[in-house]
Amino acid sequence: MNAPTAVLDGVSMTYGRVEALAPTDLSFDTGVVGLLGPNGAGKSTMLRLLATAMLPSSGRITIAGHVATGTMAERTAARRRLSYLPQEVGFPRRMTAFGFLDYVAVLKEWDDKAARHREVCRVLALMNLEDRRSKRVSALSGGQRRRLAIAQALMGQPDLVILDEPTTGLDPEQRASLRGILSTYAGHGTVLLATHQTEDVSALCDRVIILDDGRVRFDGTVAALIDTARGQVWVGPEGNVDALSSWRTGSGEIRSVGGRPTPGSRPAEPAVEDAYLLVRRARRESAGALDGVGTSGTLEALS
């Protein structure tokens, strides 16, 4: 059995008195892992820790067998085996698309100019940006700049690709194309994808992790997550009583997540979004129950 691509062992992160990530144990194997959670849940903190952009307050991180929380030599070795797309990317706007990727490749220690340029051309083609290679970054559209940022993350085919909201600014066709690229890549590497797009998770991911309040609330397959919502999603002429969420669908019926079904309602096939909402509600109810008995204990993962 192959060793995990990345491992978090008791990793936590605090900023002053704020606990952004509670002590966490996770391992990541080959495939696509979706990371879901509300704003402020700790998703970007976890990604930045894995990307070695910062050191944790406690715990140990291993990337492709290298201890990223160890010596500078080990940390550098770990960085050579991963790539990172942050949620916000700063571009040197006077550079061309080709020049930007060539610059990033130099930073990634591609010393052979011919090999480096072949790789730049490969990822430009992969992201359908060949005809924009000589355009300055400042002249590219928002979606094109996002694809350029994804291209730099895919250079060199690293063991671990860390993507923070990669589909932001992409149209449906571009998002579908990216799914195909990442699913192919995941055959030989690990893709960790933080997103608010639950449809990307259902279409692409082998595994999904839900973070809330800096803690893992679910960790399992997409099918297992969806199964947690069975019997709790309904469609009918009216919304459920005390539903967590209800809305009118294109067919004119009301879809309800949670609550008590009204006459004429029938069970519906749940989706990732439904299960995500129910996991978050369970977390809030657990927190309320703890508050009600006056405890200050931490919540456990719901998985």
The CATH number that applies at residue 202 is: 3.40.50.300
Q: What pLDDT sits at residue 289?
A: 53
Q: CB-based contacts of 106: which residues, under 8 Å, 6+ apart? A: 116
Are both 231 and 286 inside the same structural domain?
Answer: yes
**CA separation, residue 210 to residues 71, 96, 214 (Å):** 31, 38, 10
Is 87 within a domain?
no
Length of the chain: 303
Buried b / exposed e across 59-98, counting CB within 10 Å, b at 16+?
A: bebbbbebbbbeeeebbebbbebbbbbbeeeeeeeeebbb
Burial of 244 (0-12, 13-18, 19+ CB in 10 A): middle
Structure letter (DSSP) for residue 16 = T
The number of folded domains in the chain is: 2
CB 6, CB 160: distance < 8 Å:
yes
Is 2 within a domain?
yes
Q: What pLDDT sits at residue 131?
A: 94
Residue 61 tokens read as: 């991180």
Is 299 within a domain?
no
Are both 267 and 286 inside the same structural domain?
Answer: yes
Are both 52 and 4 inside the same structural domain?
Answer: yes
Are both 16 and 47 inside the same structural domain?
Answer: yes
Q: CB-based contacts of 285: which residues, under 8 Å, 6+ apart? A: none
Name residue 23's amino acid: P
For the full predicted model, state whether its pTM sits above 0.85.
Answer: yes
Residue 287 tokens read as: 């927190």
Is 184 within a domain?
no
- Please tell me the distance from the alpha carbon of residue 252 to that of residue 201, in angstroms, as a whole number: 27
Is 274 within a domain?
yes
Are both 50 and 66 inside the same structural domain?
Answer: yes
How much is the CA Rg of the chain, to the nearest whole Å?
21
Is 19 within a domain?
yes
Domain that holds residue 236: 225-292
Three-state SS at 220: strand
Is 21 within a domain?
yes
Are both 213 and 271 inside the same structural domain?
Answer: no
CB 61, CB 6: distance < 8 Å:
yes
Are both 196 and 209 inside the same structural domain?
Answer: yes
Are both 232 and 211 inside the same structural domain?
Answer: no
Beta bridge partners of 160: 82, 190
Are both 204 and 263 inside the same structural domain?
Answer: no
Are both 8 and 62 inside the same structural domain?
Answer: yes
Beta bridge partners of 257: 233, 245
Structure letter (DSSP) for residue 189 = S
Is 269 within a domain?
yes
Are both 200 and 252 inside the same structural domain?
Answer: no
Structure letter (DSSP) for residue 300 = P
Give the helix/strand (H/E) hosting 60: strand 58-63
Spatial strand order of the sheet with 66-67 comes to 18-28, 6-15, 58-63, 66-67
Are both 196 and 264 inside the same structural domain?
Answer: no
Predicted confidence pLDDT, tens digits, the chain (303 residues):
678 999 999 999 999 989 999 999 999 999 999 999 999 899 999 999 999 999 999 999 999 999 999 999 999 999 999 999 998 888 887 899 999 999 999 999 999 999 999 999 999 999 999 999 999 999 999 899 999 999 999 999 899 999 999 988 888 888 888 899 998 888 889 999 999 889 889 989 999 999 999 999 999 999 999 999 999 999 999 999 999 999 999 999 999 999 999 999 999 999 999 999 999 888 777 665 545 443 333 333 333
